[in-house]
Amino acid sequence: MANKYPPQSAFDWSDSWCDSDDGVQDVVKPGAGDVPIFTANSADCALNENSAALGGLTMTGYTGTLATGSNTIDVDGNAVLDGTITATAASLEVSGNLTLTTAMTALPDGLNCEMNGTGTLVSNGVSIGSFEVNTAGVLTSSANHTFTGDLILTSSLDGVSALSGTWTHAPATVSDIKWGDSSPSIPHIKLGSGGTSRLTGLVWANEITIGAGIEGAAVTQSGSQTLALSMFGDDKWNQTVSSGTVVINGIRFVPRNAPKSTGFLCGSSILGQVTIQDQFSVGAITMTDDWDLGATTLAINAFYNNALGELDTGTFNLICGDIELGLAPARIDGGVIDFGTGNHSIASITALNDDAGAQSAIDFASSFISLSGVLEGAGITETNTAGIVSSGTINNVNVSGSNDLTHIYPVGATGNTGVNALYPARWPGGI
Neighbouring residues of 35: CB distance < 8 A, sequence distance ≥ 6: 1, 2, 3, 4, 54, 55, 56, 57, 58, 77
| pLDDT given for residue 334 in this prediction | 86
pLDDT band at residue 267 under the 50/70/90 scheme: low
Task: Mean pLDDT check: name the lowest of 71-85, 104-118, 389-403.
Answer: 104-118
pLDDT of residue 225: 47
Q: How many CB atoms lie within 10 A of CB 164?
A: 11
Q: DSSP for 185-233, please give it.
A: -EEEEEE-SSSEEEE-S-EEEEEEEE-S-EEE-SS--TTSS-EEEEEET
Which residues sit opposite 286 in a β-bridge? 260, 312
113 strand-pairing partners = 92, 131
pLDDT number for residue 243: 40
Residue 137 backbone dihedrals phi, psi, to 5 degrees? -105, -170
Residue 411 inside a domain? The answer is yes
* Helix, strand, or coil (residue 88): coil
The answer to whether residue 195 is domain-embedded is no
Q: Which residues pair with 94 in a beta bridge?
A: 75, 115
Q: 172 lies in a domain? A: no
Task: Please check the confidence at residue 44 and state whether its pLDDT lies above 90.
Answer: yes
Q: Are 382 and 337 in contact (CB under 8 A)?
A: no
Distance CA 5, CA 35 (A): 9
Per-residue exposure over 43-79, b if at least 16 CB sit within 10 Å of its own CB, e if not: ebbbbeeebebbbbbbbbbbbbbbbbeebebbbbbbb
pLDDT for position 266:
58
Question: What is the Cα–Cα distance from 316 to 343, expressed in whole angstroms?
Answer: 7
The yes-or-no verdict on residue 351 having pLDDT over 60 is yes
pLDDT tens digits, residue range 353-368?
766 565 799 999 999 9
With a pLDDT cut of 90, the percent of the chain lying above it is 46
- Band (pLDDT 50/70/90 cuts) for residue 290 is confident
Residues 207/185, Cβ–Cβ less than 8 Å: no
Nearest to residue 323, comparing CAs of 366, 365, 360? 360
Q: Which pTM does this prediction carry? A: 0.73
Give the end-to-end CA distance of the chain in Å, rounded to a whole number.
92
> 37 — phi, psi (to 5°)?
-125, 105
The most confident of 217-221, 226-230, 283-287, 386-390, by mean pLDDT:
386-390
pLDDT tens readout for residues 124-182: 889 999 988 766 555 555 567 888 888 887 655 444 444 557 888 888 888 888 776 55
**Residue 360 included in any domain:** yes
Whether residue 308 has pLDDT greater than 60:
yes
The set of residues, in sequence order, having a beta carbon less than 8 Å from that of 262 and lying 6+ positions away, is 234, 236, 237, 238, 288, 289
**What is the CB-side half-sphere exposure of residue 34 using CA atoms within 13 A?**
20
Angle at 89 between CA 158 and CA 166, to 5 degrees: 35
Structural domains in the chain (count): 1
The pLDDT confidence band at residue 319, using thresholds 50, 70 and 90, is very high
**pLDDT-derived band at 272, boundaries 50, 70, 90:** low
Computed over every residue of the chain, the mean pLDDT equals 81
Q: How confident is the model at residue 215 (pLDDT cuts 50, 70, 90)?
A: low
3-state secondary structure 357-419: CCCCEEECCCCEEEECCEEECCCCEEECCCCEEECCEEECCECCCCCCEEEECCCEEECCECE
Task: Give the residue numbers spanning the domain of 281.
Answer: 226-431
Flag whether pLDDT at 392 surpasses 80.
yes
Higher pLDDT residue, 174 or 313? Answer: 313
Q: How many CA atoms lie within 13 A of 266 on its CB side?
A: 15
Per-residue pLDDT band for 43 (boundaries 50, 70, 90) equals very high
Is residue 409 predicted with pLDDT exceeding 70? Answer: yes
CB 421 within 8 Å of CB 410: yes
Q: Residue 422 belongs to what H/E stretch?
A: strand 419-422
| Euclidean distance between CA atoms 365 and 109, whole angstroms | 53
Res 208 pLDDT > 70: yes
